[in-house]
Amino acid sequence: MNLPLLTLGVTLLGCVLAVLGVRAWSAGQAQRQALVDRMAQTGPLAIESGRRRRFASLDRRLRRTRLGRRIERSLSATGLDLTAGEYAIYAAAALIALYGLMSAVFAPFFGVLAVLIGLWGANGFLNWQRIKRTEAFINQLPELTRVLANATQAGLALRTAIGMAVEELDDPAREELRRVADQLALGRSLDDALGELVERLPSRELTVLVTTLILSNRAGGTIVTSLRNLTETLEERKETRREVTTLLSQVKVTAVAVPVLGMGFLLIINGMRDGALDEMTSALGGRIAVLIAAGLYALGFVLINRLTRVRI
C-alpha cells in the first residue's frame, strides 16, 4: 500500500467535499435571503394555530350529544380558538368560582341564583361574540366588495377573486373567506359555500352581497357594476350604523348600570347589619322577594336592549 498516495487522495477528497459544502451553504444562504426579501414585500405567511387541544376525551364525548354539537356550531361562528370540551370545562369552572364568590360576599342563596344567571350568561357570551364578529365582518364588506369588483373587472373568475380577497383582507373576513375558498377547492358549489357563510354570520348586508354573487354566477353576466353600486351603499350603511351606535351607547350603559346598582344596594344592606342577607334568604318570603327583584332587573335589562336595537 502506497501510504503517501493514499494520504494525498484522502486530502483531495476532503478538499472537494469542503468546497461542495461551502457551495451548498452559500446557496442556502442566498435562498434564505431571497425568501426574507420576498416576505418583506408580501407579508408573512398565515400559519394556522396548531396548539395542543385540552380535554380531548371529553370533547369527543360531548360532540356526540346534541348540546355538544350546538356548542360547536356556536363556537365556529364566534371565531374563538376553543373546542366544545374546552368551553364546557371553562364555563363550569367559571360557574363554580361565581358560586363561591357570591356565597362568600352575599349569601349561599345568591350563589345558586348567580349560577342560574351564569348559565344564561354563558350562552349570552357566545351570542355576544358572534354579534361582535358579525359587526366586524360587516365593517369589512365595503372593502370586500371593492376587491371582488376589481378582480372581476380584471377578468378573473369569482372563485379566483375570493382567493385574492383572502390575501388582501384582515380577520375576520380573511378567516371566513378562507373557509369558503377551502370548501370550493373541495368541490362544493358556490351557492352552498356562500350560504353556509350567511348562516354563520347572518346580516342583511351579507345576504344582499351573497345573493348578488350567486345570481350573477348563475346568469353568467358581469357583476362589476353591481359590486360598485353595492360598495357605495355599504359605505353609507357603515357610517349610519356607526352614528346610531354612538347615539345609543349611553342607553346601553344604563342597561348594565341598573343591575350593578342593585348589587351595590345589597352590599350596603349587608354592611349595615352583618348577616342580614342570610336571615332574609333563610325565609321563604325573602327568597320570593329576591327572585322577584332579580326577575325585574333582568326584565329591565332585556327591555332596554330590545328598545335600543335599531335595524338599519
Task: Give pLDDT tens digits for 275-295.
Answer: 788 888 888 888 898 888 888
Which residue type does 194 have? L
| Whether the predicted pLDDT of 86 surpasses 50 | yes
Closest CA to 181 of 200, 203, 202, 166: 166
Query: What whole-number distance in Å separates Cα of residue 258 and Cα of residue 270?
Result: 19
Q: What is the DSSP code (8-state) at residue 220?
A: T
pLDDT of amino acid 8? 59
- Are 107 and 281 in contact by the 8 Å Cβ rule? The answer is yes
pLDDT of amino acid 46? 40
Q: Is the previous residue joined to 172 through a cis bond, with omega within 30 degrees of 0?
A: yes
For the chain, state the CA radius of gyration: 30
- Are 223 and 152 in contact by the 8 Å Cβ rule? The answer is yes
CA 221 vs. chain centroid, Å, equals 34
Which residue type does 232 have? E
Neighbours of 109 (CB within 10 A): 19
| Whether the predicted pLDDT of 173 surpasses 80 | yes
Query: What whole-number distance in Å separates Cα of residue 178 and Cα of residue 157?
Result: 16
Cell of 107: 349569601
pLDDT of amino acid 44? 40
The per-residue pLDDT of the chain, averaged, comes to 79
pLDDT digits (tens, 9 = 90+) for 223-269: 777 777 778 888 887 788 778 778 777 777 877 787 888 888 888 88
Mean pLDDT of 160-175: 85
Q: Which position has the grid cell 348562516?
A: 199
For the entire predicted model, the pTM comes to 0.64
| Whether the predicted pLDDT of 41 surpasses 50 | no
Closest CA to 213 of 286, 275, 133, 158: 158
Task: Give the SS3 label for residue 283.
Answer: coil
Mean pLDDT of 67-82: 81
The rounded percent of the chain whose pLDDT value lies above 90 is 1
Q: Largest Cα–Cα distance of the chain, in whole Å?
A: 111
